[in-house]
Chains A and B, each alone.
Chain A
Amino acid sequence: MSSRRLTRSAWQAGALLMAGTLVACGSSGPSGGGGGGGDGGTGQVWALEDGALNPIEEASIERFNEGSDAGELELATFGNDPYKQRLRVAIGSPNAPDLFFNWGGGNLKEYVDAGEVEDLTSLLDENPELRDAFLPSVLAGAELDGKNYGLPMRGMQPVMMFYNDAVLESAGVEVPETWDDLLAAVDALKAAGVTPIALAGTQAWTELMWIEYILDRVGGPEVFQAIRDGEEGAWEDPAVLEALTMLRELIDRGAFGNDFASVGYDVGGASTILAQGGAGFHLMGSWEYTNQLNDSPEFVEAGDLGWATFPAIEGGEGDPSNLVGNVSNFYSLTSSSENKEAAREYLATALTDDEYISDLIAAGDVPPVQGVRDQLAETENGDYATFIYDATVDADNFQLSWDQDLPADEATEMLTQLEQLFLGNQTPQGFVDAMSAL
């Protein structure tokens, strides 16, 4: 009978589905088909997705696989947020990568404290030329308690003050060297009818850059370092309140216009506003240059895109050469890796390899290695590249972005408080109280 046949095929379909589910569950377990890589298997290298840089990293790994008999490596890439979540869940599990991309600082410290990261100090001791190849201030970004836990693998990304030269010129504004210059420039640009400073306020990390620089200039880098080290009452340092008050005054002055709360960065919002002459300044990471070059080439080619370091603050403790931003990105080795030999050899040879460095430079990156200034100067965007290189070499201190340097829970709360401060829903004192209450 037909209904019996139906019963039967329903059963079969059900059984098949269930089997499928079981198989799917199984593959996330310890046997880990493509994930873990075992002894003699292919070592996994995890990095952040980047259209320009991933092919270079891929090529570097391929060269290594061809030239070495220590083992094979393989690159896997992920978008920003998925990467952070995935790495956290994977690390310590049998699906952990062997080498993983990170930002150094407090972000890496959480993994080190969990006992999941291999100490690379011995690797640097065995290869002194490797240690000398990198800029010390950048290598220090992955140093904790005198031990090294990562090697720089991408360019440096300090935060810089970008400006639209044509806009400044028509408003009669000079590039500000001091805070007072900046305030005067804000007033002049407002009078000229443009938004003085473009800000992608839907994303709190763009707002963070402002308080990072102001606090550094006002109180010096030590103030934030005490906060990061979790010292008692560190948020209550008077410099924090002073910096927040200065920022609040800048916002109230109309420096960021009225629309910033709905301007994005990822969709090209703030950068486009700068390029189209709707704003005078834009404080952003050094990647802004590449973005402008891709999205608004005519703006860059006309010579209207300008760049400078953040203004000095008179009477402040911080050295005007100090930088904040992404010091660099690092590869770290997981302590549970079963491909340590290959991974260590890769770290020791591939990251300072001439071809890898030239590829990075050609892609517009400024690699954190010694003696590439001449090579940078020869590139198409030599002016900009050498500006970034010199600024980092000369920097007295290079502070990692706070949201990467603080533990995740504290960073999340801080970003929320900061957004509220920008919207006028939180006072500087309220910010300090909320952060010290954590």
Chain B
Amino acid sequence: MAVTRQDRPSGWYLAPALTFFGAFAVLPMVLVVYLSFTSWDGFGTPELSGVGNWERLMDDGRAWDSLWLTLVFMVLTWLVQTPIALLIGVWAAGRQRNRAVLSSLFFLPLLLSTAAIALLWAAVLDPNFGVTQRLPFLGDFNFLGNTELVVYTVVWVISWQYVPFHTLLYQAAARQVPQSLYEAATLDGAGRYRQFFTITLPLVKYTIITSTVLMLVGSVTTFDTILILTGGGPGTATRILPLHMYITGFSGYEFGYASAVAVLLLLLGAGLSLAVTQATGFRKMQSQQEGM
């Protein structure tokens, strides 16, 4: 049946969403771009300072180190989370009862707040009073105090926190895959691994892209976990770009310069999600189940 114009929702339906998006997303973005061209320490009104903040950003070795670290985190968290979330998700998509019980356990971290997760791991990994300290082998490491090891510690904690969410995405996606495809494949003699790589994986492709975009953009804005867990330390070992922005903005009160860093983050996040969706053909939204 053809959809007539009158059956469509009125454009006014968009109004609440647009209002919120305008007030809480567009407006702050415009303001932060403006602030990045000013000098402001929180007192009085911001004074225009031309491209001063941007020149400083170009010369700021610490900002570039932070940017590099952000990219390292991005790649590492993606590499760790995607395979784990995909495998657990596909596994959890099965209807067996034991899977349902175990899955609900796996999803537990999703119920905890970020602050709770960060504090929990800080306590577990404490070099003097932590749990790991009492274990053989693990007790020899200072997970939060060693400037190289701490990077992997943070990747681990962030993955622990977000894997359940991505697992949920994959579980839903895997359940959408028509059972008949598997039945046909079984008749053709395809084994489990073959079925996974030729049926499941191609059919959850768009979920992989969605989850990847969420992870990449998420790691540009990940902030709270690291702030509580390490505060960007020891030294600057885990000071990723969002933390660098926070520290210059809210410890140093250099709001103009911090805004320049924020704009860089904004461009990075927007650029990444555009790049991923373009490169993968996500935007074409072609059906993956032609003829089904």
Taking Cβ atoms with an 8 Å cutoff, the residues of A that contact B are: 10-11, 14, 17-18, 21, 81, 85, 88-89, 91-92, 110-111, 114, 116, 201-203, 258-264, 267, 269, 272-273, 278, 408-409, 411-413, 416, 419-420, 422-423, 425
Contact = CB atoms under 8 A, between A and B. Distances in A.
B238 to A, nearest CB: 11
A82 to B, nearest CB: 10
A220 B171 CA distance: 67
B128 A110 contact: no
A419 B42 contact: no
A408 B234 contact: no
A413 B252 contact: yes
15 contacts: A17-B16, A18-B19, A21-B19, A21-B20, A89-B42, A202-B231, A259-B145, A262-B143, A262-B234, A263-B128, A267-B122, A273-B128, A412-B248, A419-B235, A425-B235
B147 A202 contact: no
B43 A261 contact: no
A422 B237 CA distance: 13
A18 B16 contact: yes
Nearest to B42: A88
Contacts of A116: 43
B147 A262 contact: no
B234 A419 contact: yes
Interface residues of B, number: 38
Main secondary structure of the interface of A (DSSP, over half): helix
A100 B143 CA distance: 41
Interface of B: 12-13, 15-16, 19-20, 23, 41-44, 62, 122-123, 125-129, 142-147, 230-231, 233-236, 247-248, 250-254
A258 B19 CA distance: 54
Contacts of A408: 41, 251-253
Given A18-B16, A202-B234, A416-B62, 19 more contacts: A10-B13, A21-B20, A21-B23, A85-B250, A88-B43, A111-B43, A114-B43, A258-B142, A261-B147, A262-B127, A262-B143, A263-B128, A269-B126, A409-B41, A409-B252, A416-B235, A419-B233, A420-B235, A422-B235
B260 to A, nearest CB: 14
Interface centre among B16, B44, B122, by most A CB within 10 Å? B16
Nearest to B143: A262
Given A202-B231, A408-B252, A269 B128 contact: yes
A416 B251 CA distance: 11
A420 B62 CA distance: 12
Contacts of A18: 16, 19
A420 B65 CA distance: 14
B58 to A, nearest CB: 16
A419 B127 CA distance: 18
Contacts of A14: 15-16
A408 to B, nearest CB: 4
B127 A263 contact: yes
B246 to A, nearest CB: 11
Contacts of A258: 142, 145
Contacts of B15: 14
B129 A423 contact: no
Task: Identify the interface centre among B12, B144, B247, B251: most chain A CB within 10 Å of its CB.
Answer: B251
B142 A412 contact: no
B222 to A, nearest CB: 19
Contacts of B143: 262
Nearest to A10: B13
7 closest pairs, A vs B, by CB?
Answer: A262-B145, A261-B234, A412-B252, A262-B144, A261-B145, A114-B43, A409-B252
Most buried by B among A17, A85, A416: A416
Contacts of B13: 10
Contacts of B128: 259, 263, 269, 272-273, 278
Given A409-B252, A420-B235, A114 B129 contact: no
Contacts of A260: 145
Contact of B230 (A17, A114, A202): A202
Contacts of B142: 258-259, 261-262
A262 B126 contact: yes
Contacts of B250: 81, 85
A420 B235 CA distance: 5
A272 B252 CA distance: 31
A106 to B, nearest CB: 13
Nearest to A15: B16
